Structure 1
Amino acid sequence: MGPPPRARYGSGAAGGVVNIITKRPTNDWHGLLSLYTNQPESSKEGDTRRGNFSLSGPLAGDTLTMRLYGNLNRTDADSWDINSSAGTKNAAGREGVTNKDINSVFSWKMTPQQILDFEAGYSRQGNIYAGDTQNSTSNAVTKSLAQSGRETNRLYRQNYGLTHNGIWDWGQSRLGFYYEKTDNTRMNEGLSGGGEGRITNDQTFTTNRLTSYRTSGEVNVPVIWLFEQTLTVGAEWNRDELNDPSSTSLTVKDSNIAGIPGSAANRSSKNKSEISALYVEDNIEPMAGTNIIPGLRFDYLSESGSNFSPSLNLSQELGEYVKVKAGIARAFKAPNLYQTSEGYLLYSKGNGCPKDITSGGCYLVGNKNLDPEISINKEIGLEFTVDDYHASVTYFRNDYQNKIVAGDQIIGRSASGAYVLQWQNGGKALIEGIEASMAVPLMPDRLNWNTNATYMITSEQKDTGNPLSIIPKYTVNTFLDWTITSALSANVNWTLYGKQKPRTHAESRSEETKGLSGKALGAYSLVGANVNYDINKNLRLNVGISNIFDKQIYRSAEGANTYNEPGRAYYAGVTASF
C-alpha cells in the first residue's frame, strides 16, 4: 500500500506526492562509477548512453563530510518518419534528450545534535527534436530539424540550499532556505493560426527565466498527553518569478482585447506569485497497533486568497497478520503563472476555438481571479503480512473540482469581431480504482515472485465524459527474481497493459468539424529479462533484453494511439564501486 492521503504538502499534491530525499554524506570514503547503454534492434529508434558517478566521504573527520554526484546521459530521437505507416498524418516519435548534472552536498556537524547542510547543483537538459508539432502539421523547417537531430530547446538549472537539522531535548527541528533559477532557451514557435505550436525559425532562440525562492521550517515534538503522540508543526513560504518574452510575444491586429494591449511591446512578460502556509499534523497512538493522524494546512495564495486543507488517516492492526489503512484529505493545486498572467495572449484563427463558436477567431487571455483546483482524496485498504509473504489491496477515489481549463464562455469581442475567452474554473472530474500487490517466496532466499497491479474503475471529466487522461484500463507488473549463486542472479519481468479508450467528445471547432477517431488501443504485454553478475565486491555487470517479443506500437495522432512503444532492445551496464 502506498502512503495515505496527506494535506500537509500543499499546492500540487492533489494527485499524490513523491518525497525525494538526498542521500546524506558518509563518514568514510565511498565511490561509484556506472556506465549503461541501451541499443534498440530497430534502426529507427533512438539509443541511449549513460554514465554517472558519486563520491562521498569525510573532509575533517565526521565534523565535515561531503557528497558529490553527477550524470551524463544521451538518448537519440526516433527517426522523423518512424510513424509514417501508422496514419494519414506523420506523427512524431519519441524526442531525444541530453542531460548533464552535477550536484554536491557539504554537511557540517557543528555538534552531535546540530547539522548544517549546504547543497548546490547545476544541470543542463537539451531536447533533441523528433518532428513533433501541434496537430502533426510539419513544414520544411520542422522536417529539417528532425532529420538533423538538433536541439530545439535547452534547460539550464542552478539550485542552492541551506538546511539546518537539530535534535533538542524537546524534539527535532528542520529549517531550510532554497533558491532555484531555470533558464528555458528554445526556438520560437508560432502562437496563432496554422503555425501554432510549430517551430517557425531554426536560427532564433528566446530565453525564458523562472526564479524560485523557498523557505520552510518544521518541528517534531513527542507529546505524552492522554496518548503517545508526535506533533508536527511547520511553515512554508514560496515565491515564483517568471519572465517569458517568448509566450507573450504575439502581436495582433486588435489594439485592445478585454483590456489587454494587442501589441506585445505594451504587455509585460513578467509575472510572479507567492504562497505562504502553516500546517499541523499529529501522529497519535491511542493503543498498540492503532495510529490516528489528523492534519490541517492553511495556505494564502497571492492570486486566489485563502485555502484550508484538512486530512485524517487511520491505521489499525487486526490481529497479528492483518492491518487496515484508511485516509481522506482535501488537496489543492494553485493556478500557474501563465493562467493568471495579464500579459498572456493566445489567438486562434478558428480551429482552436471552442466547438460552439462556429465561425471567426478567438483570443484566450489570462485570468487573475482563478480559484485553485481542489481534490478530495480517499482510500481504504487491507494489508496482509506473514513471514516473507505479503499482500495488499487498496481502493482509491479522487474527486476533482474547479479544474482549470481553457474557457468556452465568451467574455467579450474585439474590434475585429474575434471572441474573447479566458482561463476558467471548469467542471468536475473523477478518478477511482484499485491497487494491489503480492510478494511470494517460492523458494526462500532463492526464488521470489512479486506482482503489483492497478485497475482503473473510472477516469473521466464529468461535463464531457472524456477520460481525464488516456491510460490503460489496468496495468499488471510481475517479476521473478532468481538468486542462482551469491554472485549471479536473474530476473524475468512481464507487464500487461489493458485497453485504452480515446476521447469521444469534441471540444474544439477542429475536432467538431473533422470528428474524433474512436479507435481504441487494445491490450498488450511486454516481456523482459536480465542477468546480474558480481565479478568481485567492487565490480558488477548487468545485461538484459527488453520487449523480447518485439511488440511495437506506432503513434498515429488519432484515437488512443498517442505514444510509441519501442520494440526489442538490448542493454548492458557495468558498475565499479569502493
Structure 2
Amino acid sequence: MRFQNLMFLAGASALALSNVANASDLTAAEAVQEARRAAAERTAATEGQEIVVTATRSAQPLADAPATMSVVTGTELRRRPVQDLAEALENEPGIVINGIGMTRRGISIRGMSNEHLLTLIDGRRINDALANMAHADFDLGWVPSVAIERIEVVRGPLSALYGSEALAGVVNVITRRPSERLEASGLGLLGLRDGKGGDTGQLSALIGGSITPSLGVVAWGEYRHRRRTQSPLSPRESELEAREALSGSIIGWWEPAQGHRIEIGQAAIDDDRARDTVTTGARPVYYEYQDHITRAQTHGSYTGSVGWGELQARAYRSVLERVNERDQNQTPTQPTKATDTVFDGRLTVNVFAGNRLTVGGEHRHETLRDSTVNTAGKADVNHNALFVQDEWALRDGVSLTLGSRFDHHPAYGWQTSPRAYLVVEPIEGLKLRGGVGKAFKAPSLKQLSLGYITVAAGGRFIITGNPDLEPETNTAYELGGTYYGRSWNLGATLFQNDLDGLVQTNCVEFCGVRGRERRAYVNVDEARVRGIEVSGQVTPLPALSLSASYTYVEPRDRSKDRELAERPNHSANVKLAWQVADATEFNVRGRYTGKQTIYQADVPVRLDDYNLWSVDVSHDLTRQLTLKLGVDNLFKKRLAESSALYSFAEPGRVFFAGMGANF
C-alpha cells in the first residue's frame, strides 16, 4: 500500500468515525468514570504502586523492586506517533538516543552503549541483530503501541537473571492480554513534517479476549510508514531513511485449571528500508541503498502457580533475515540469516515466610548463515546457563536479593554473573537501595570467526574476525533512595560501571593505505561510566501530573585517558499531563541533551547541546472514539544546522493527527 493510499484511508476513517461520534456523544457519567480511572493510574505511578516483573521475574510494586526502574504505559504511547522503541523511551530517565550509522538510532542507558542493552518481549529474548549485522536497529520495532500494556525499563546490569547483552540494562515490552471480555482497538495516526519528506503513517488494530472461561486469543497487526528526507548539505543523499513495515501477531492461551496457563503464539514482520547515499571513492557514485528485513518468532509456554510457588517452562524460536540491494552497479552486502532457538525454565519456591527462592536454566542455540563469516557460510554456538536468585524479607522494611547466573560458552567455559541488592525502608515512604553486580557479553559469531572478512567505509579498509577475543565485562555499583509521599516522589541514584575488554576494531596491517588497510576486532578498552540520576514526580491535583529527571554522566576511556564518544554529560526530561476536562487530556514533553564529544580523525570535537519539545491533546468524542492531535519537535530543531557531525538526524517539526477506537 502506497503512503498516499494510507493517507486517504486514514482520512476517510477519521471522517466516518467523527460522524459516528456526532451520533453518540460521550455521556457525562462515562466521562467522569474515565477521568477517575486515569487519575487513579497517575496516583499509583506517583506513589510507586505500579506492579513490575522484570527485576526479579516475579510481580512486585515498583517501589519495592531491587533495581532502578521506570515504566511507560501503552496509554501514553498511543497518544503520539511511535515508530519504534527508541521513540517510545526517549523521555525516560537516564536514556539518550544516539546514532548507530546509516541514519539509524539506538538506545543508550546511563552512558552505556546500545549494544549492551537487552530487549525482551514478555520476558523472551529477541534476536540480537546488532551483534551480527552492522548498523542494525531491527530489534526495536516488534510490537505496535496498540498492543503494548507497558514497557519496563531497568537501568543497571541484570546478567544475573538474563545473561549476556544485559550489561547496561533491560527493556521488557509487556503486551496486552484482554481477558474479561472481547475487546477491539484501533489506531490511525498521520504525521506531516514541516518540510520535504519525513511524513509518517501508522494504522494498527487489536482484537482479543476470552472465547470461553478457559480459552482466549489476541491478535494484532500494524502498517507503518515513513518517507525519506533529504540532507540539507547534500540534497542527493538522505538525512533519514524511508521505512515501511507490516507486522502481525496472534497468541492463544488455555487455562485447564486455576493457576495453570498454556500459551502459544506467532509473530511476523516485514520491514523495508531505503535511502539515497554516495560512495567515498575519488569518483563518487550516487545510488539507492535498500534493506529488506523479515523477522518471525514462534513461542510456547506453560506457567503453573500453586500455594508453594510457581513453575514456568518456555520454548521459542526467533528468525531474522536481511537482504540488501543497491543500484548503479554497487555491490550489495551478502544476505544474512540469524536464528535463535531457546528453551528455558524456572522454579520459584516460597521456602518459608519472607523467603522466595528461584532456580532455573536456559539453553540457547544461535545460528548465523552468512557467506562472509567463513568458507562454509555458516557458524553456530550453544549458550547454556543456570541461575539462582534468593529474595529475603529480613524484617519489615528490609529486603535483600542475592543471585548469580552461570553461563557456559564453548570459547570461554563458565562465566559467573553475581548480583546483590538491598532495599531498606527506614521510615515510611523512604526507600533506600543499593547493590553491586557483574555482567559479561560474549563476542558475536562474526567477531569470533577466523574467516570473517568484510569491506567497510566505502572500500577504504577491510575488517576481519578474531577467535582470540575475550568477553566484555562490567562491574556495576548503585546507591540511591526515593521518597514516596502522598501524590509525589523524589529520588536520586549514584551509579558506576567499570568496563573491561570492550571490543573495537583496530588497524593491524597497511594502516592508512586505502584499499589495503586491514582492521581486526580486538579487546582494547578499559572504561568507566559513572554519574548521578535525579528524578521526581508530583500529582498536585488528580487531574494534573508533572515528572522530571536529570542525569549527569562522566564517560571515561581509561585506556586512552579521554572521554568516550557520543555520551552526553548532561541530559534531562520533563513531562506534564493535564486532564483539562473529563474527556480531554493535554500533554507536554521536553528532552534536553547536553554537550558530547565525538572524534574526527581521532581528534576530539565537542558538539553543542540541544532540546526538543512536543505537545499533544487527546479528546474522547465518545466512550469508544478518541481524537488525537499534536506536534513533535515543536521548535523545529535541526541538528544538521548546528553541525554535520551529529551521528543521527532529527526530522524537524512534525504535525500529527489521528483517531483511536476501543470497543
Taking structure 2 as the reference length, what is the TM-score of the superposition? 0.72
Q: What CA distance in whole angstroms lies between the structure 2 residues aligned with 1:376 and 1:346?
A: 32
Q: Compared with structure 1, are the counterparts of its residues 106 and 202 closer, same or farther at alpha carbon in structure 2 (3 Å cutoff)?
A: farther
Q: What CA distance in whole angstroms lies between the structure 2 residues aligned with 1:107 and 1:313?
A: 35
More helix by share: 2
Q: What CA distance in whole angstroms lies between the structure 2 residues aligned with 1:243 and 1:384?
A: 51
544-553 vs 200-209, which deviates more?
200-209
Q: Secondary structure at the match of 2:640?
A: coil
Q: Is the 8 A contact 2:191 2:200 kept in 1?
A: yes
Q: Which residue of the partner structure matches residue 317 of structure 2?
A: 179
Q: Does 1:22 align with 2:175?
A: yes
Structure 1 runs (4+) deviating above 4 angstroms are 135-138, 202-206, 347-353, 417-421, 555-559
Alignment of 1:465-476 (within 5 A): 465-476=561-572
Alignment of 1:240-251 (within 5 A): 240-245=366-371, 247=372
Q: What CA distance in whole angstroms lies between the structure 1 residues aligned with 2:481 and 2:366?
A: 41
Q: Which of residues 318, 321, 325 in structure 1 aligns to 2:433?
A: 325
The letter for the 1-side match of 2:552 is: Y
Q: Deviations over 1:332-375 (max 9, x none)?
A: 1111111012331246899956xxxxxxxxx6432223221100
Q: Compared with structure 1, are the counterparts of its residues 202 and 419 closer, same or farther at alpha carbon in structure 2 (3 Å cutoff)?
A: closer
The letter for the 1-side match of 2:475 is: I
Q: Is the 8 A contact 1:120 1:159 kept in 2?
A: yes
Q: Which of residues 435, 439, 445 in structure 1 aligns to 2:533?
A: 435
Q: Which of residues 261, 264, 267 in structure 2 aligns to 1:121?
A: 267
Q: Which of residues 199, 217, 224 in structure 2 aligns to 1:73?
A: 224
Q: What CA distance in whole angstroms lies between the structure 2 residues aligned with 1:138 and 1:20?
A: 46
Q: Which residue of the partner structure matches residue 48 of structure 1?
A: 200
Q: Is the 8 A contact 2:178 2:209 kept in 1?
A: yes
Q: Which residue of the partner structure matches residue 484 of structure 1?
A: 580
Q: Is the 8 A contact 1:83 1:93 kept in 2?
A: no
Alignment of 1:72-221 (within 5 A): 72-79=223-230, 81-84=231-234, 92-131=238-277, 139-142=284-287, 145=288, 152-187=290-325, 201=329, 206-221=334-349
Q: How far apart are residue 65 of structure 1 and its match?
A: 0.6
Q: What CA distance in whole angstroms lies between the structure 1 residues aligned with 2:187 and 2:210?
A: 22
Q: Deviations over 1:105-140 (max 9, x none)?
A: 11011222221100101111111214276x699943
Q: How far apart are residue 92 of structure 1 and its match?
A: 4.2
The letter for the 2-side match of 1:448 is: S
Q: What's the Cα RMSD here?
A: 2.8
Q: Compared with structure 1, are the counterparts of its residues 389 and 138 closer, same or farther at alpha carbon in structure 2 (3 Å cutoff)?
A: farther
Q: What CA distance in whole angstroms lies between the structure 2 residues aligned with 1:406 and 1:573?
A: 45
Q: How far apart are residue 321 of structure 1 and its match?
A: 2.5
Q: Is the 8 A contact 2:223 2:247 kept in 1?
A: yes
Q: Secondary structure at the match of 1:545?
A: strand
Q: Does 1:529 align with 2:655?
A: no
Q: Compared with structure 1, are the counterparts of its residues 538 and 334 closer, same or farther at alpha carbon in structure 2 (3 Å cutoff)?
A: same
Alignment of 1:509-520 (within 5 A): 511=601, 516=603, 518-520=604-606
Q: Which of residues 492, 515, 520 in structure 2 aligns to 1:393?
A: 492
Q: Which residue of the partner structure matches residue 65 of structure 2?
A: none
The letter for the 2-side match of 1:223 is: V
Q: Compared with structure 1, are the counterparts of its residues 137 and 119 closer, same or farther at alpha carbon in structure 2 (3 Å cutoff)?
A: farther
Q: How far apart are residue 98 of structure 1 and its match?
A: 0.9
Q: What CA distance in whole angstroms lies between the structure 1 residues aligned with 2:282 and 2:425?
A: 58
Q: Is the 8 A contact 1:35 1:574 kept in 2?
A: yes
Q: Compared with structure 1, are the counterparts of its residues 19 and 48 closer, same or farther at alpha carbon in structure 2 (3 Å cutoff)?
A: same
Q: What CA distance in whole angstroms lies between the structure 1 residues aligned with 2:533 and 2:182?
A: 41
Q: How far apart are residue 494 of structure 1 and its match?
A: 2.3
Q: How far apart are residue 551 of structure 1 and its match?
A: 2.1
Q: Compared with structure 1, are the counterparts of its residues 396 and 349 closer, same or farther at alpha carbon in structure 2 (3 Å cutoff)?
A: closer
461-470 vs 481-490, which deviates more?
461-470
Q: What CA distance in whole angstroms lies between the structure 1 residues aligned with 2:244 and 2:307?
A: 48
Equivalent pairs counted in the alignment come to 507
Higher radius of gyration, 1 or 2: 1
Q: Compared with structure 1, are the counterparts of its residues 523 and 201 closer, same or farther at alpha carbon in structure 2 (3 Å cutoff)?
A: same
Q: Compared with structure 1, are the counterparts of its residues 181 and 350 closer, same or farther at alpha carbon in structure 2 (3 Å cutoff)?
A: closer
Taking structure 1 as the reference length, what is the TM-score of the superposition? 0.82
Q: Which residue of the partner structure matches residue 61 of structure 2?
A: none
Q: Which residue of the partner structure matches residue 495 of structure 1?
A: 591
Q: Deviations over 1:350-409 (max 9, x none)?
A: 9956xxxxxxxxx64322232211001111111011100111111111111111122445
Q: Which of residues 158, 164, 187 in structure 2 aligns to 1:34?
A: 187
Q: What CA distance in whole angstroms lies between the structure 2 residues aligned with 1:93 and 1:204?
A: 20
Q: Is the 8 A contact 1:555 1:563 kept in 2?
A: no
Q: Which of residues 539, 542, 556 in structure 2 aligns to 1:445?
A: 542
% identical equivalent positions: 24
Q: Compared with structure 1, are the counterparts of its residues 82 and 438 closer, same or farther at alpha carbon in structure 2 (3 Å cutoff)?
A: same
The letter for the 2-side match of 1:577 is: N
4-13 vs 267-276, which deviates more?
4-13
Q: Is the 8 A contact 2:278 2:284 kept in 1?
A: no
Q: What CA distance in whole angstroms lies between the structure 2 residues aligned with 1:402 and 1:313?
A: 25
Q: Which residue of the partner structure matches residue 508 of structure 1?
A: none
The letter for the 2-side match of 1:432 is: R
Q: Which residue of the partner structure matches residue 423 of structure 1?
A: 521
Q: Compared with structure 1, are the counterparts of its residues 203 and 333 closer, same or farther at alpha carbon in structure 2 (3 Å cutoff)?
A: closer
Q: Compared with structure 1, are the counterparts of its residues 497 and 54 closer, same or farther at alpha carbon in structure 2 (3 Å cutoff)?
A: same
Q: Which of residues 400, 408, 424 in structure 2 aligns to 1:316?
A: 424
Q: Which of residues 381, 396, 419 in structure 1 aligns to 2:480?
A: 381
The letter for the 2-side match of 1:439 is: Q
Q: How far apart are residue 310 of structure 1 and its match?
A: 0.5
Q: Which of residues 278, 283, 287 in structure 1 aligns to 2:386?
A: 278
Q: Which of residues 332, 356, 365 in structure 2 aligns to 1:230?
A: 356
